[in-house]
């Protein structure tokens, strides 16, 4: 509470602000509406067990999120935003309605904030307070100030502890980005932590209540909820938010006990995802066709623009049966079939348009799966679930970059549980340094907890990689000889990336905890990189 204000005064003030803020508040889908539009009573009881979060940032606005547990009836909670942690300089009070349909998720958008300023916020029911969250708005459009972004992906709860998130908490970040696999729909590894969600208590979720339980489990981790409460979150999904290796309307093949029609399961996964994320679908104003659209851009001053992609919802099926490695090997014609799409027509047009029109120094592409080729042996891709299986789309994006003279593009990538960095050409590979020409760079930031390529393939398929392939994947010298576009690879460590964009260079640091099998760990920098403006090459520092 603000100093000198009792609960009745606080609630009266919140009601008045909510009524006056109807224009400034952006409706965020059917999950939350301003209480000024309804006469709902304040919620009594309930708990904010999943903490708070902020997202969808701009230099003047932010979306704020929380979720009530152990409450049945719809009602209102009160939001308070201040410029100080003691809430003496309150800049916004309003009531926000919760709904049973969204399982009492709370989202509301606050406008009129000052650029690049820190704010504190909290929610309140009639008897409970949420944890206090904080965020910093983004730099204004013309700002050339450096911006700092944390990137992570693949945070399988049972595979280990979120020691990496403790490291991200220690960074002074403008934004943290999840590049996919925020949850895992079933267990793939020998558990380090228990997951009894799902109808069978085995961790496999398919119904909407089961997906909700999965997010509640992940948000029981203090490091994850603390990170969400400290730094604005941007996120894109990959496959495990629904089902391993699915492609648009085509299911994957890793489900142990299919209990729900796939399209219904996908809808359940998508709906639970948005209920638990501090942002609305980008296509919410565009009707049912785009009700779950996640691709969007985030402008970070003049220094950087982040373009977030969706490589699951619009893609065709993977070529060659999606085995790893493909058996028999996929032919060039199959992998580069111009009829097979990865992004879909509309998203491809959007990406090309945004790349060409961006005024930012650095164009950072939030990318679920690697765009560099990953060959074992040379010229034979090991994973056609990534851009390697959709060569025509890769060539179209990279050719557009070349033809339009678009400089300083860097892909920030998750998915493959391995640290990679290197150069990107129109084919994804280079037969020798500089041939074909590098057009962009890529940084693949490992995984938060999920194990490496051999272990994941074994856990997913039940069939270990052939010994010679397993040895090749673990051998960095062999990987580099078959993939000369790689500047760096590390198949052993888990962790995250820190990306600092400034007008004179792009800096990337890979950080890794010593262990993810214990709740606490020392974090160390395992490699640092730089990219100079106008030179699409990764330099090790």
Task: Please state, in angstroms and rounded to a whole number, the distance separating the CA atoms of residues 451 and 459.
Answer: 10
- Tell me: pLDDT of 64 over 80: yes
Beta strands, E only, 56-143: 62-67, 75-82, 90-98, 105-110, 118-124, 133-136
Q: Is 42 strand, coil or helix?
A: strand
Task: Please state, in angstroms and rounded to a whole number, the distance separating the CA atoms of residues 111 and 21.
Answer: 9
With the C-alpha atoms ordered 13, 15, 16, 20, is the resulting torsion angle positive or negative?
A: positive
CATH of domain 147-540: 3.60.21.70
Element (H, E) at 346: helix 345-357
Element (H, E) at 8: helix 7-20
**What is the band of 462 on the pLDDT scale with cuts at 50, 70, 90?**
low
Tell me if the bond preceding 325 is cis, omega within 30° of 0: yes
**What is the band of 126 on the pLDDT scale with cuts at 50, 70, 90?**
confident
Q: At residue 415, what are phi and psi to the nearest 5 degrees?
A: 80, -50
**Cα–chain center distance at 525:** 22
* Angle (CA) 293 445 538, round 5°: 110
Q: Is 69 strand, coil or helix?
A: strand
Residue in this structure with the two tokens 């799902």, named with its chain if needed: 198
Q: What is the largest CA-CA distance in the chain?
A: 74
Using an 8 Å Cβ cutoff, are 130 and 66 in contact?
yes
CB atoms closer than 10 angstroms to residue 329: 16
The pLDDT tens digits for 151-192 are 999 999 999 999 999 999 999 999 999 999 999 999 999 999
Give the least confident one: 19-23, 303-307, 316-320, 529-533. 19-23
Q: Which two tokens stand for residue 64?
A: 């704020």
| The model's pTM | 0.91
Give 499's contacts (C-beta < 8 A, 6+ positions apart).
148, 149, 150, 151, 364, 412, 443, 506, 507, 508
Query: Where in the chain are the domains?
Result: 7-133, 147-540
Residue in this structure with the two tokens 């399988």, named with its chain if needed: 156
**What is the band of 44 on the pLDDT scale with cuts at 50, 70, 90?**
confident
**What is the band of 476 on the pLDDT scale with cuts at 50, 70, 90?**
confident
Using an 8 Å Cβ cutoff, are 390 and 330 in contact?
no
Task: Please state, in angstroms and rounded to a whole number, the distance separating the CA atoms of residues 355 and 350.
Answer: 9
Residue in this structure with the two tokens 């208590």, named with its chain if needed: 201
The pLDDT tens digits for 358-387 are 999 999 999 999 999 999 888 889 899 999
Which pLDDT value is given to residue 293? 96
The pLDDT tens digits for 88-108 are 999 999 999 999 999 999 999
Using an 8 Å Cβ cutoff, are 440 and 406 in contact?
no
Which pLDDT value is given to residue 460? 64
Fold of the domain built from segment(s) 7-133: Immunoglobulin-like (2.60.40)
Using an 8 Å Cβ cutoff, are 71 and 45 in contact?
yes
Using an 8 Å Cβ cutoff, are 54 and 76 in contact?
no
- Tell me: pLDDT of 480 over 90: no
Using an 8 Å Cβ cutoff, are 385 and 250 in contact?
no
Give 90's contacts (C-beta < 8 A, 6+ positions apart).
2, 80, 81, 82
**What is the band of 35 on the pLDDT scale with cuts at 50, 70, 90?**
very low
């Amino acid at each position: 509470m603000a100093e000198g204000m009792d609960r009745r005064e606080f609630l009266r003030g919140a009601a008045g602000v909510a009524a006056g803020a109807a224009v400034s508040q952006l409706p965020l889908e059917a999950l939350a509406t301003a209480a000024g539009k309804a006469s709902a009573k304040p919620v009594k009881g309930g708990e904010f067990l999943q903490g708070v979060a902020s997202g969808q940032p701009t230099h003047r606005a932010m979306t704020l999120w929380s979720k009530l547990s152990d409450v049945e009836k719809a009602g209102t909670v009160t939001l308070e935003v201040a410029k100080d942690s003691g809430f003496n300089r309150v800049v916004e009070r309003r009531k926000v309605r919760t709904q049973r349909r969204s399982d009492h998720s709370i989202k509301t958008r606050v406008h009129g904030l000052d650029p690049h300023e820190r704010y504190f916020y909290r929610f309140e029911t009639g008897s409970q307070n949420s944890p206090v969250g904080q965020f910093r708005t983004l730099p204004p459009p013309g700002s050339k100030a450096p911006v700092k972004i944390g990137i992570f992906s693949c945070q399988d709860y049972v595979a280990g502890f979120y020691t990496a998130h403790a490291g991200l908490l220690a960074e002074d970040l403008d934004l943290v980005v999840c590049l996919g696999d925020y949850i895992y729909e079933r267990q793939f590894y020998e558990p380090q932590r228990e997951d009894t969600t799902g109808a069978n208590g085995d961790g496999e979720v398919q119904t909407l209540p089961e997906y909700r339980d999965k997010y509640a489990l992940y948000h029981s981790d203090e490091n994850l909820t603390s990170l969400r409460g400290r730094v604005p979150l941007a996120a894109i999904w990959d496959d495990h938010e629904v089902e391993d290796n699915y492609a648009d309307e085509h299911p994957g093949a890793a489900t142990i006990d299919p209990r729900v029609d796939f399209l219904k399961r996908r809808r359940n996964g998508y709906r639970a995802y948005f209920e638990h994320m501090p942002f609305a679908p980008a296509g919410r104003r565009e009707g049912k066709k785009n009700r779950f659209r996640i691709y969007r851009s985030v402008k970070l001053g003049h220094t950087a623009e982040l373009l977030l992609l969706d490589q699951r919802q619009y893609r065709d099926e993977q070529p060659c049966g999606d085995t790893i490695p493909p058996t028999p090997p996929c032919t060039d014609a199959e992998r580069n079939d111009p009829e097979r799409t990865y992004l879909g027509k509309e998203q491809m047009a959007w990406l090309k348009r945004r790349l060409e029109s961006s005024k930012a120094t650095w164009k950072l592409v939030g990318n679920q799966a690697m765009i560099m080729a990953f060959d074992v042996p040379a010229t034979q891709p090991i994973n056609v679930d990534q851009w390697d299986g959709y060569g025509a789309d890769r060539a179209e994006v990279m050719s557009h970059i070349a033809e339009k003279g678009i400089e300083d593009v860097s892909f920030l990538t998750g998915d493959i549980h391995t640290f990679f960095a290197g150069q990107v050409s129109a084919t994804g590979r280079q037969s020798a340094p500089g041939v074909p020409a590098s057009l962009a760079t890529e940084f693949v930031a490992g995984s938060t907890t999920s194990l490496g390529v051999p272990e994941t393939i074994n856990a997913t398929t039940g069939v270990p990689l052939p010994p010679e392939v397993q040895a090749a994947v673990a051998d960095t010298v062999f990987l580099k000889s078959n993939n000369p576009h790689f500047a760096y690879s590390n198949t052993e460590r888990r962790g995250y990336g820190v990306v600092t964009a400034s007008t004179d260079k792009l800096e990337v640091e890979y950080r890794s905890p010593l262990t993810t099998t214990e709740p606490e760990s020392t974090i160390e920098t395992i490699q640092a990189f730089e990219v100079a403006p106008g030179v699409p090459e990764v330099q090790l520092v």
